Amino acid sequence: MDKKQEAVKEGKMDKVINLCLRRGILFPSNEIYGSTSGFFDYGPVGVELKKNLEKSWWKYIVNDRENVVGIDGALINVSKVWKASGHVDSFNDPLVECKKCHLRFRADSLIEEELKISMDGVGVKQLQELIDKHKIKCPKCGGEFTEVQVFNLMFKTHVGAIEDEASLMYLRPETAQLIFTDFKRVLATSRKKLPFGIAQIGKAFRNEISPRNFVFRSREFNQMELEFFINPEKMNDVEIKKDDLNLESFFYTQEMQENNKNHERMNFEKALKEGIIGTKWHAYWMIEFFKWFKSIGIKTENMRFRQHVKTELSHYSSETWDLDYNYPWGWKEMEGIANRTDYDLKQHSKFSGVDLSFFDEKEKKKIVPFVIEPSTGVERTILTVLIDAYTERDDERIFLDLNPIIAPVKLAVLPLMPKEELEKKALEVFNGLKKEVVCDYDANGSIGKRYSRFDEIGTPFAITIDYQTIEDDTVTLRYRNDMNQERVKISDLKAKLSELM
Ligand code: GAP
């Protein structure tokens, strides 16, 4: 990418943030008191977008499948959960502090920004060597840094009247562990057999050293996670449709990264045949999510699968693929799809003393299942959708090219002018449609300004009520992207919109 393209991409992020603030999508929390970075609130438009996105995920992963069920677990958990999971000991990020102004930075992000190279999988020792070699100083005051240390990202709290070791609890840094701790009860009550999954959408909290890129890395965010449990001997026992195997994406393997090669385009059939993806179940879920992101409107050419290099793998994972997006600041993780093996269930069995194996009736033996975990951040997905959908035309018109499935408002109902007879008719049309489709009514300001407002929040369709409507019961239906208009009878609107949607 040349410098001009880079500038355009960087500008896009500012424009998306500006749009979020201007249109009440997402904005810093506690704004009137001066916010703390990493915490955000959704406004009226954003909350609809969030609900649509979560609904689409839940339907695709839970409601449309006979082998996945859902839970909604507590946010604050006993410390043993996080001791068992390994988070208390190893959920750390590398930290440096400026000796002069005492600002703290995440060492890998700092080096990435200074040297414009990826720090994926680079350990503390190498980070220190890079800081020393390139004489990296504090970007704020030019001061020297302390040695790289590790910083635990868990938020602690005490529950009850006494603050001691026994009352120590943690805010969950991922939703996944609740699925493991609930495994036995869900298994007993849902009567599922392997392979099956448990899904959850909910809050996660991480005391990030340097939250950045708007909601991309925040301290309080939502995750959509699936833990899919499989007999370890049957990790390849799944039929993948031919059409799905033929799907193509960019793949960036361990080997390509280690040898400084570029990512390559290939189909999933090749990736499986050549052993690039370790197991068929892993490939199955990579494909399912590739299709889901596509279904919510993300362009496939902006996605790639990047394999974690060995030094980067989490303590629980035998193989992880990030589904990356080409953000204005480079390719970064949008979703992680990990093979967590039997690590978590075994750890929780050990720490709780409760047997978390599955009894296989057919084979008459206990099995501790392996787990494939696709894990996605809600806010990160929303940011990705907004960046991908943000469109500026030559005439300086701005619109969000959102898929109607996730558009916060599907239809704008607009009287052409603020005249009583037009408003009355428009409200009549609005009331007739509001139960069928999420619509909004707006009679304030010029029609051009109202179209712009709805274009900017990605409303795919608008209908305008004018004097002709009073005469012949027809309205103008306007399409967001090309601004084409057609005349439609009010009585045909429901059918027309359901066809379009
Ligand atoms: N259970 C596995 C897990 O939590 P992760 O890679 O740490 O894995 C999964 O997180 C996803 O959660 C990421 O791909 C990202 O979309 C989202 N995520 C992680 N940390 C985040 C943060 N600080 N702010 C916003 N989203 C985050």
CATH code of the domain in which 455 resides: 3.40.50.800
Integer Cα distance of 195 and 161 in angstroms: 44
Answer yes or no: is 396 within a domain: no
- CB atoms under 10 Å from CB of 281, counted, come to 22
Angle at 334 between CA 182 and CA 396, to 5 degrees: 135
- Two tokens, residue 411: 């239809």
> In ligand 1, which atom is closest to the CA atom of 176?
1
Q: How confident is the model at residue 291 (pLDDT cuts 50, 70, 90)?
A: very high
Q: Which residues of 317-328 are buried (b: 16+ CB within 10 A; e: fewer)?
A: bebbbbbbbbbb
Look at ligand 1, atom 23, and give the residue with the nearest C-alpha: 217
Q: Is the pLDDT of residue 274 over 80?
A: yes
Ligand 1, residues 92, 151, 333, 337: which to mutate, most atoms within 8 A of Cβ? Answer: 333
Ligand 1 geometric centre to CA of 375 (Å): 7
Answer yes or no: is 403 within a domain: no
Answer yes or no: is 398 within a domain: no
Ligand 1 geometric centre to CA of 317 (Å): 15
User: Which domain-ending residue is among 152, 173, 199?
Assistant: 152
Answer yes or no: is 401 within a domain: no
**pLDDT for the residue 445:** 92
Ligand 1 geometric centre to CA of 478 (Å): 39
Q: What is the mean pLDDT of residues 130-146?
A: 95
Ligand 1 geometric centre to CA of 166 (Å): 29
Look at ligand 1, atom 26, and give the residue with the nearest C-alpha: 377
**pLDDT for the residue 394:** 76
Look at ligand 1, atom 17, and give the residue with the nearest C-alpha: 377
Answer yes or no: is 146 within a domain: yes
**Are 181 and 54 members of one domain?**
yes
User: Which domain-ending residue is among 388, 422, 441?
Assistant: 388
**Are 84 and 109 members of one domain?**
no
Q: What is the mean pLDDT of residues 223-233?
A: 98
pLDDT digits (tens, 9 = 90+) for 436-481: 999 999 999 999 999 999 999 999 999 999 999 999 999 999 999 9
Q: Is the pLDDT of residue 403 over 80?
A: yes
**pLDDT for the residue 212:** 86
**Are 189 and 148 members of one domain?**
no
pLDDT digits (tens, 9 = 90+) for 412-428: 999 999 899 999 999 99
**Are 297 and 307 members of one domain?**
yes
**Are 67 and 119 members of one domain?**
no
**Are 367 and 261 members of one domain?**
yes
CATH code of the domain in which 103 resides: 3.30.40.230
> In ligand 1, which atom is closest to the CA atom of 322?
14
**Are 73 and 197 members of one domain?**
yes
Answer yes or no: is 215 within a domain: yes
Ligand 1 geometric centre to CA of 279 (Å): 23
Residues lining ligand 1, Cβ inside 6 A: 174, 176, 206, 208, 217-218, 221, 223, 225, 333-336, 373, 375-377, 379-380
**pLDDT for the residue 10:** 60
**Are 145 and 164 members of one domain?**
no
Closest to 186 measured CA to CA, from 69, 351, 47, 50:
69
Look at ligand 1, atom 16, and give the residue with the nearest C-alpha: 377
User: Which domain-ending residue is among 388, 421, 453?
Assistant: 388
Task: Let me know: does 341 contact 371? Beta carbons within 8 Å.
Answer: yes
Integer Cα distance of 94 and 329 in angstroms: 21
**Are 200 and 102 members of one domain?**
no
CATH code of the domain in which 237 resides: 3.30.930.10
**How much of the chain exceeds pLDDT 70, in percent?**
98
Cα-based distances in Å from 332 to 222, 309, 336, 455: 18, 14, 11, 28
**Are 118 and 256 members of one domain?**
no
Give how many domains the chain has, as a whole number. Answer: 3
**pLDDT for the residue 6:** 56
* Residue 118: domain span: 92-152
**Are 205 and 352 members of one domain?**
yes
Ligand 1 geometric centre to CA of 323 (Å): 12
> In ligand 1, which atom is closest to the CA atom of 216?
25
pLDDT digits (tens, 9 = 90+) for 40-68: 999 999 999 999 999 999 999 999 999 99
pLDDT digits (tens, 9 = 90+) for 207-226: 999 898 999 999 999 999 99
Q: Is the pLDDT of residue 5 over 60?
A: no
Look at ligand 1, atom 15, and give the residue with the nearest C-alpha: 377
**Which three-class secondary structure state does DSSP give residue 317?**
coil
Answer yes or no: is 404 within a domain: no
**Are 414 and 271 members of one domain?**
no
Average pLDDT, the chain: 94
Answer yes or no: is 307 within a domain: yes
